[in-house]
Amino acid sequence: MRLSSFPPAATAVGKPKEAPMTTEEALTKEGTNAEPIAPPSVPRVEALPRSTLEAQGMPSAAVLAFVDDAERRALGLAMRVRYLLSMSTGHDQDTTGSLRAAADGDWVRAFLALPVEHAPGTHFVYNSGATYLVSAIVQKATGQTLLDFLGPRLFGPLGIAAPTWGNSPQGINVGGWGLSITTEDIARFGLLYLQGGEWGGTRLLPAAWVAEATSAQVANGDDPDSDWAQGYGFQFWRCRHGAYRGDGAFGQFCVVLSAQEAVVAITAGSGDMSGLLGLVWEHLLPALGPGVLPADPAAQDALRRRLAALSLPAPAGEAASPHAAFVSGRTFAFETNAEDEHQTKADDEYQIETARWDFGPDGAAVTVRAAGVVHRIEAGASAWRRGTTTFGAEAARPVGARGAWAAEDTYVLTAYFCETPYAVTLTACFTDGGVQLDIRQNVSFGPTAGVPLTGRVL
């Protein structure tokens, strides 16, 4: 899940003592005992219960629907939806990279073409490509994207407004990542599971599905002190302390503590996910007890003030510099420096060709041409400026940006991509007729910084 808000936050909610609250759509296809929910105006897709499938050794019809060549039919016969949901497809490593690299953009075919090193159902590896295939199965079976299918069944009843989900080149929701909802929305989803699938007095999920999805379906390690080795369910991690969670990269968490009747929702941009969970166990868990806390207006007021004062760290420095007049409006070109053996085009993942800084009394605008596409970021000087940018993104994303002069010749711009864990900082050190540009990300699946780029004024 890519579940985050702007700014990063954490929310803890407890199970209400009276009326429970809202929804989820049971992705209960083959491999579960729960009755699948049929979409309106779409022919119902019946699924055999798990016991029948296992007794007869029948394959998943949903997976077989994608298999159209003989050499992959053996995989289709062995693969079941429950193996996709439990990340036990038998692959040795996450398939996501291979899917995204598919030249024809057909991620389903790319998934089915990969070698399977272990018997499906016997080996765990975190595999977002498997979740993508579940999304593709839902779309093929219902004629709707996963986002549209869940709208009236999950997002609407839970009060989750305007969720967005990224797509593959074939127009299929990616499933395993790219879902943007708020921190409070994550808490609502967790509360639905804490209440056994009920919301507002209405059952949205079969209780049996909730129990099975949040129970360990496959072993994923034997370290008693690791929250990544307590077993994996259907898209849920088991945790220490009897808890379970959904999580996304860089600190997006939906932690359900059933015994304490509590849900902790966190959105962040951190490379230390284990450390974030450790804070929950160290500080929140011991404070959760069976009794009702006495009213403490002073503490409540202090909490409100602290929350109201939270802010994102801004670049340090001055709002203006006399050097701005010499570089404002000038375009700098970036090329591979043949004399610098340490710098190559591969070091610049943004493929920057030109950049221009335009300074004004209230901030700056940076215009970058990268791989033939022009991107623009507008930054405030004394406050964050909200806008949109395509820089570092596949499509225009909302962003908050702010800049400062760290030195008379050095301008630093930081942009936070709203509803994602990501932030990017561009540091430009201007020289006579040139600029050295350093780009860093707060978090990344790879290096967070590349080799500084050298540009010359045109």
Q: Does the pLDDT value for residue 339 go beyond 70?
A: no
Q: Does the pLDDT value for residue 76 go beyond 70?
A: no
Q: CB under 8 Å, gap of 24 or more: what pairs does 439-445 form? A: 439/350, 441/392, 442/269, 443/249, 443/250, 443/269, 443/270, 443/271, 445/249
The answer to whether residues 271 and 443 touch, using CB atoms and an 8 Å cutoff, is yes
Average pLDDT value for the chain: 84
Alpha-carbon span 311 to 12, nearest angstrom: 20
Return the DSSP state at 132: H
Alpha-carbon span 110 to 53, nearest angstrom: 26
Return the DSSP state at 155: I
Helix (H) or strand (E) holding 298: helix 297-309
Alpha-carbon span 71 to 437, nearest angstrom: 50
Q: Does the pLDDT value for residue 34 go beyond 60?
A: no
Q: Does the pLDDT value for residue 244 go beyond 90?
A: yes
User: Average pLDDT of 265-289?
Assistant: 95
Q: What φ, ψ does residue 457 adopt, rounded to 5°?
A: -70, 140
Fold (CATH) for 324-457 = Lipocalin (2.40.128)
Q: Does the pLDDT value for residue 446 go beyond 60?
A: yes
Helix (H) or strand (E) holding 299: helix 297-309
Per-residue confidence (pLDDT) for residue 450, from 0 to 100: 84
Alpha-carbon span 364 to 411, nearest angstrom: 10
- pLDDT tens digits for range 220-234: 999 999 999 999 999
- pLDDT tens digits for range 103-130: 999 999 999 999 999 999 999 999 999 9
Alpha-carbon span 426 to 412, nearest angstrom: 6
Per-residue confidence (pLDDT) for residue 231, from 0 to 100: 98
Q: Do domains 9-287 and 324-457 have the same CATH topology?
A: no
Helix (H) or strand (E) holding 186: helix 183-194
Return the DSSP state at 274: H
The answer to whether residues 387 and 363 touch, using CB atoms and an 8 Å cutoff, is no
Per-residue confidence (pLDDT) for residue 124, from 0 to 100: 98
Per-residue confidence (pLDDT) for residue 364, from 0 to 100: 97
Per-residue confidence (pLDDT) for residue 336, from 0 to 100: 58
Q: What SS3 class is residue 97?
A: helix
One-letter amino acid of 329: G
Fold (CATH) for 9-287 = Beta-lactamase (3.40.710)
Strands 385-389 and 179-180: unpaired
User: Average pLDDT of 16-42?
Assistant: 31
Sequence-distant (≥ 6) Cβ neighbours of residue 388 within 8 angstroms: 396, 397, 398, 399
Nearest Cα to Cα of residue 5 among 185, 192, 232, 227: 185
**153-157, 161-165, 419-423, 442-446: which has the highest mean pLDDT?**
153-157
Per-residue confidence (pLDDT) for residue 418, from 0 to 100: 87
Helix (H) or strand (E) holding 424: strand 423-431
Q: What is the token pair recorded at 55? A: 């007794």
Domain ranges of the chain: 9-287, 324-457
Share of the chain above pLDDT 90, in %: 72
Per-residue confidence (pLDDT) for residue 326, from 0 to 100: 94
One-letter amino acid of 385: R
Sequence-distant (≥ 6) Cβ neighbours of residue 141 within 8 angstroms: 29, 45, 62
Q: Does the pLDDT value for residue 263 go beyond 50?
A: yes
- pLDDT tens digits for range 283-336: 999 999 888 889 999 999 999 999 999 999 999 999 999 999 999 999 999 985
User: Average pLDDT of 384-400?
Assistant: 91
User: Average pLDDT of 194-199?
Assistant: 98
- pLDDT tens digits for range 128-145: 999 999 999 999 989 999
The model's confidence at residue 58, banded by pLDDT at 50, 70 and 90, is very low
Q: What is the token pair recorded at 35? A: 């009755």
Per-residue confidence (pLDDT) for residue 393, from 0 to 100: 82
Q: Does the pLDDT value for residue 56 go beyond 50?
A: no
